[in-house]
Amino acid sequence: MQEGTIPLTANIPTLEQLLALAKGHTDAEGRLDGTQMSLPVVLRVSPDSFKFKPSAHSKTASPDSKESNDSNRRNSDAESEDVNELDFEYNHELDPETHTDQQRHDHAVLRLAAQVIATTQFPVGFPTETVYGLGANACSEAAVANIFYAKGRPADNPLIVHVSSLRMARSVSSDAAVLGEGESAGAGAGGRATYGALLKRHWPGPLSVLVPRCERQIPAIVTAGHGLVAVRLPAHPVARALIGLAQTPVAAPSANTSTRPSPTRASHVRDDLRGRLLLLIDGGDCDDGLESSVVDALRSATVPPELSPTSLQTTPTTAVIPHRIPPCLLRPGGISIEMLRKIKGFEDCVVWSPKLPSANKNDTIAPVTPGMKYKHYSPNVPLVLLESHQDETLYSKQQYREAISIAISARISAFLEKTPTKIITSPATIVILRTLSQSDFALNLPRSLPPQVTILQKSLGDSTAKVAHELFAALRDCETLYLNCLLVFIEGVAEADEGLAVMNRLRKAAGETIFFHE
């Protein structure tokens, strides 16, 4: 059994039995009020149980078409002409000849979860390859309102809509062509922006793209009133099968309480949402550990010609050259900026920052990435980020060790001065989370600590991918695993590849940053 996995629940309740558990524990709006401590019901499934076949709508569907259930394939076949994985759907009927008991069980679990999503207003917790999601029918205003309530999420922070096929993705956009297999991708000068090439390479996967919201399908509450909706086709077989069975797009933020680190294990979801969630599907630990990248390639469409910097520089007699606004990575995540820039049309993709000029003069910067202004990812222990003033690769190991040791020691001394030993009455821990490849060498830490205080060092791994995978779980572990955790230090990483997303999360999670240098 994987660490953090909750034991298998043998009996699968019926929908009626499940709803009966909520009785007497809902408010006037029918929302779980947090008093039913035996909720959520947790049902465990194996991601391997779910096989995907080309859908009946797919050009490539044929009786002997190949199956797929590898969530990490990241579309390796999608380049080939005869298999388009974006059209694969979960086979809704199990083959009685071939299925195993485990598959029958897991299929029944997802059928129940799909029923909850399709026919009630209760959200369901489910695994994706990035983090666990808290999903509800994206077409139901009341169901989506329940997500905001359960998480305590501010109403002006929009949700990502999850789909199980490209066909479903097109149904949530008022301009399905932006998701289509365009000749060129990205925001083209004067031309139409499409995500075709990008999706062909990175869907299903940890990538959310902004498309015009289809108002008939997706209520305004999902996007907090914005015209663009973020849409994602997850690679996790459980997520994709669940959405396919529900036969509706699923709005889902990360399944944590607002401001907390995102959940990468079912136990994290249960810890945060106990009493506020009816059903949680446990599919084991998430593969990636950080959320999807959110990309906007449609910004050019929102720029009135008179606002184009090029047009402002022209005289009335000069022809106006349409101004190209490059695509923008709004939130770094599973698909790195380096990966995005390899895609035709995304070569000049920029990373969002508050310093970027707004695409539209009527836009304040804030609505572009509404989530940015809120406190995020914060554990219930003080977290200190250690950022190097210069590229760590320029340090010798010895220089690095001295610089970071001085920074940590000074901060611990200041902490102990402010927190006299007599206040720390029981055994206590200071944790140092190491992230760099140099983490194999020891730091020079203060020797004269009060006897009840222990310094504990934990390595999150020697690559940024491993750090990304471990990060949120490690922050939560500091709250629960270590005795009376007083202070947590974490080393920053270089901002290349997954490192950009890691630093984005760390800067938001940390209450304090120490810049150190030689």
Point out which residues bind Mg ion (CB under 5 A): 254
Q: Evaluate whether 472 touches 264 at the Cβ level (below 8 Å).
A: yes
Q: Evaluate whether 249 touches 162 at the Cβ level (below 8 Å).
A: yes
Q: Minimum CB separation from Mg ion for residue 253, in Å? A: 5
Pairing outcome for strands 428-434 and 124-126: unpaired
The H or E element containing residue 144 is helix 141-151
- Per-residue contact flags (x/-) with ligand TXA for residues 159 to 178, judged by CB under 6 A: xx------------------
Q: Using CB under 6 A, which residues numbered 227 to 286 contact ligand TXA?
A: 228-230, 232, 252-254
Binding status of residue 471 toward ligand TXA by CB under 6 A: no
Q: Is 29 or 363 the residue whose CB approaches ligand TXA more closely?
A: 363
Q: Is 205 or 461 the residue whose CB approaches ligand TXA more closely?
A: 205
Give one word for 359, left, alpha or beta, with left for phi > 0 and alpha for psi -120 to 50. Answer: alpha
Scanning 16-24, 315-323, 367-375, 480-488 for contacts with ligand TXA by CB under 6 A, the matching segment is 367-375
Q: Is 262 or 336 the residue whose CB approaches Mg ion more closely?
A: 262
Q: Which of 330, 385, 433, 453 binds ligand TXA (CB under 6 A)?
A: 330
Residue 115 binds: one of Mg ion, ligand TXA, none (C-beta under 5 to 8 A by kind): none
Question: Cβ-closest residue to ligand TXA?
Answer: 371
Q: Minimum CB separation from ligand TXA for residue 372, in Å? A: 7
Residue 252 binds: one of Mg ion, ligand TXA, none (C-beta under 5 to 8 A by kind): ligand TXA
Give whole-number Cα distances, 393 to 271, 465, 494, 507, in Å: 39, 18, 9, 21
Task: HSE, CB side, 13 Å, CA atoms: give it for residue 435.
Answer: 28
Residues 6+ apart with CB under 8 A from 42: 6, 9, 266, 270, 280, 282
Q: Using CB under 6 A, which residues numbered 72 to 101 contact ligand TXA?
A: none
Among the listed residues 371, 300, 360, the one whose alpha carbon sits nearest the alpha carbon of residue 330? 371
DSSP lists the bridge partners of residue 230 as: 160, 210
Q: Minimum CB separation from ligand TXA for residue 230, in Å? A: 4
Q: Is 120 or 254 the residue whose CB approaches ligand TXA more closely?
A: 254
Residues 6+ apart with CB under 8 A from 459: 434, 435, 439
Q: Which of 84, 223, 300, 464 binds ligand TXA (CB under 6 A)?
A: 223
Scanning 153-161, 401-409, 434-442, 450-458 for contacts with ligand TXA by CB under 6 A, the matching segment is 153-161
- Per-residue contact flags (x/-) with ligand TXA for residues 381 to 410, judged by CB under 6 A: ------------------------------
Q: Using CB under 6 A, which residues numbered 176 to 205 contact ligand TXA?
A: none
Q: Which of 71, 264, 292, 464 binds ligand TXA (CB under 6 A)?
A: 292
- Which residue spans within 74-192 are E strands per DSSP? 88-90, 124-126, 133-137, 160-162
Residue 158 binds: one of Mg ion, ligand TXA, none (C-beta under 5 to 8 A by kind): ligand TXA
Residue 335 binds: one of ligand TXA, Mg ion, none (C-beta under 5 to 8 A by kind): none
Sheet holding 428-434, edge to edge: 453-459, 428-434, 485-491, 383-388, 512-516
Collapse the DSSP code of 413 into the 3-class scheme (helix H, G, I; strand E, B; otherwise coil) and give the result.
helix
Question: For 152-280, where are the alpha helices, taking DSSP H only?
Answer: 166-171, 196-202, 237-246, 266-273
Q: Is 120 or 254 the residue whose CB approaches Mg ion more closely?
A: 254
CA distance 515 to 513: 6
Q: Is 54 or 205 the residue whose CB approaches ligand TXA more closely?
A: 205
Give whole-number Cα distances, 11 to 43, 101, 274, in Å: 9, 13, 20
Give whole-number Cα distances, 277 to 32, 226, 243, in Å: 7, 27, 18
Q: Is 112 or 252 the residue whose CB approaches Mg ion more closely?
A: 252
Q: Minimum CB separation from Mg ion for residue 157, in Å? A: 9
* Token reading at 481: 């695993």
Residues near ligand TXA, by CB under 6 A: 128, 130-131, 133, 157-160, 206, 208, 210, 223, 226, 228-230, 232, 252-254, 291-292, 294, 330-331, 369-371
